[in-house]
Structure 1
Amino acid sequence: MFLLELAKANRKSFYLLLWMGTLPLLVSSVITYYALSYEENIRLFGAMEWFAFFLLSCFSMGLALTPTTFIAIVTGYFLGIQAVIPMLIAYLIASFIGYNLTHFIDKGTFINSLRAVPSVSDFIQKLNTRQFGLIVLSRISPVLPFAIMNVVLPVIGIRLRSFLLAGFLGMLPRTLLFIWVGSQAKTLKTLLEKGERNSFLEVSFVLLLIISIMGFYVYLKNIISKKLEKGTKKEN
């Protein structure tokens, strides 16, 4: 019942979440088609063309039109290690755009709905006391989409400064990994259409997943333990 009421009270936020969960897959399919069709032309891009590409990527990632992993792989394929710095800058700008877009649409209604339920409000408050770790773990996880977390983290009250700094640190290993994967690909067609098996990628993916799962486990365990300890003290 609570979830139904929450969804009704925050329709815009849920629509935004749906958008950011599905649209990147559709748009990346279109970009894949054009990237394969004009690969030779893209290889002739100069500094201005790549500047325009990364500038557009800031908005496409921030507005959830393209997955960050997809952009990292493609730029890694064409630029190699040179893609690292502009890609990280693009991530920061995209995070800023996504954060402010969520606040513009949500306007604090979601967090206010959660605060209406004491138990949930208390849990959210505990999460926000350790924002930095939560954001790093959210960003480092290879199974939590960048766009989805651009909605989830702001609506639970994460501060912008923590969101950007911790998010940058969390995205760093993923960025380096997928740029490297792109740089090692033999052909763009194999990389984008069929995928390219890579033992290093598979091991790294599993490693990042384990790190994020164990991190979330320890993080949430500490919060729950403190809550139980606080409850016991009140009873005594």
Structure 2
Amino acid sequence: MNKKPSIFKRFKQIYSENPSIFWAIVWVSLMPSIGSLIVLQWFYSKGNDFILFDLEHPLSLVLYITGSTLLMGFALLPTTFLSVLSGFMFGWSSLPYLIVGYTLASIIGYSLGTKMGHNSLEILLQQYPKAADLIRHKRKRMGWLVAFVRLSPVIPFALSNILFALLKAGLKNVIWAGLWGMLPRTILAFFTGIVADSLYQALKRKEENWQLLLIGLLFLLSAWGIYRFFTNGSSSAYRKSS
């Protein structure tokens, strides 16, 4: 009886055949935190310059949308950090423009992940036909998975873009379902920035009890949705693959 290769060996095979996806995962795991520290230090030394940054001015608006798109799309800053910063600096007026920014960022992240991912997921699942069949069986319902993953307060935006690319979730699902999944956590982060007396206080995220409760509910709803996505109807998929 042949022994199945370990997950470690599968990842090693993926790295040998497609090292770009490995380094992409490393990048999206580390760079947003590094970027946050850099921007935070810069903000405290140059933050007063933002007083002249008026989003009602067309050029400022274009710069804001372009900047937020590139910062999130290339995983230079996490969405939560940028949401808190935007809420603190510009208030609710910047929310629609940030939504435009992270929608465009989703397109960038998903497109890059698709180009780098190639057949990495297929390699990982070669010895797990039931799991591969389950994913194929759920292909038409990927929008639900995208929405619930985006809803989670603990799954990073940039990392989820790579996950969606590997799963071939579809750009339409990433844009539309991802939009509705991101809204609750984005609005909560915005509100945190708006009510804070300082950016430091906002980023410490010492929420009121109702905010902590809401974060917990978002996490539980996301976990329930992801669980239901993979378990609902999975038995029939398993029977077909047996």
TM-score (norm. length: structure 2): 0.87
Per-residue CA deviations over 1:45-69 (Å, capped at 9, x if unaligned) read 1233343133112011111110001
- Unaligned runs of 5+ residues in structure 2 are none
Aligned-pair CA distance for 1:152: 0.8
- The answer to whether the 8 A contact 1:23-1:65 is kept is yes
Give the superposed CA RMSD. 1.9
- Residue matched to 1:7: 12
The 3 A distance-change label for structure 1 pair 112 and 210 is closer
Please state if 1:197 is matched with 2:207.
yes
Per-residue CA deviations over 1:119-168 (Å, capped at 9, x if unaligned) read 23212212323101100001001111001001011111111111111111
- Residue matched to 1:87: 98
Q: What is the alpha-carbon distance in structure 1 between the residues aligned to residue 72 and residue 240 of structure 2?
A: 41
Q: What is the alpha-carbon distance in structure 1 between the residues aligned to residue 220 and residue 132 of structure 2?
A: 29
Letter aligned with residue 202 of structure 2: L
- Residue matched to 1:151: 162
Aligned-pair CA distance for 1:114: 4.4
- Residue matched to 1:111: 121
Aligned-pair CA distance for 1:186: 1.0
- Residue matched to 2:188: 177
Q: What is the alpha-carbon distance in structure 2 between the residues aligned to residue 51 and residue 25 of structure 1?
A: 25
Q: What is the alpha-carbon distance in structure 2 between the residues aligned to residue 228 and residue 109 of structure 1?
A: 22
- Unaligned runs of 5+ residues in structure 1 are none
The 3 A distance-change label for structure 1 pair 103 and 228 is closer
Q: Out of 92-101 and 122-131, give the one that drifted further.
A: 122-131
Q: What is the alpha-carbon distance in structure 2 between the residues aligned to residue 156 and residue 145 of structure 1?
A: 16
The 3 A distance-change label for structure 1 pair 33 and 184 is same
Aligned-pair CA distance for 1:21: 0.8
- The answer to whether the 8 A contact 1:111-1:157 is kept is no
Q: What is the alpha-carbon distance in structure 1 between the residues aligned to residue 121 and residue 205 of structure 2?
A: 40
- Residue matched to 2:65: 54
Q: What is the alpha-carbon distance in structure 2 between the residues aligned to residue 77 and residue 94 of structure 1?
A: 21
Q: What is the alpha-carbon distance in structure 2 between the residues aligned to residue 8 and residue 129 of structure 1?
A: 29
SS at match of 1:43: helix
- Residue matched to 2:48: 40
Per-residue CA deviations over 1:148-201 (Å, capped at 9, x if unaligned) read 001011111111111111111111111111111111111123223x44333232
Instruction: Report the count of equivalent residues.
Output: 230
Q: What is the alpha-carbon distance in structure 2 between the residues aligned to residue 190 and residue 174 of structure 1?
A: 18
SS at match of 2:206: coil
Letter aligned with residue 8 of structure 1: Q
Equivalent in 216, 220, 239 of residue 206 of structure 1: 216
Matches within 5 A, 1:159-174: 159-174=170-185
Per-residue CA deviations over 1:71-112 (Å, capped at 9, x if unaligned) read 000000111111210010001100000011112222x22133
Letter aligned with residue 65 of structure 1: L
- The answer to whether the 8 A contact 1:190-1:196 is kept is yes
SS at match of 1:142: coil
Q: Which runs of 4+ in 1 moved over 4 A?
A: 228-231
Letter aligned with residue 172 of structure 2: R
SS at match of 2:138: helix
The 3 A distance-change label for structure 1 pair 188 and 50 is farther
Instruction: Indicate the percent of aligned positions where both proteins have the same amino acid.
Output: 27
- Residue matched to 2:31: 23
- The answer to whether the 8 A contact 1:110-1:156 is kept is no
- The answer to whether the 8 A contact 2:69-2:101 is kept is yes
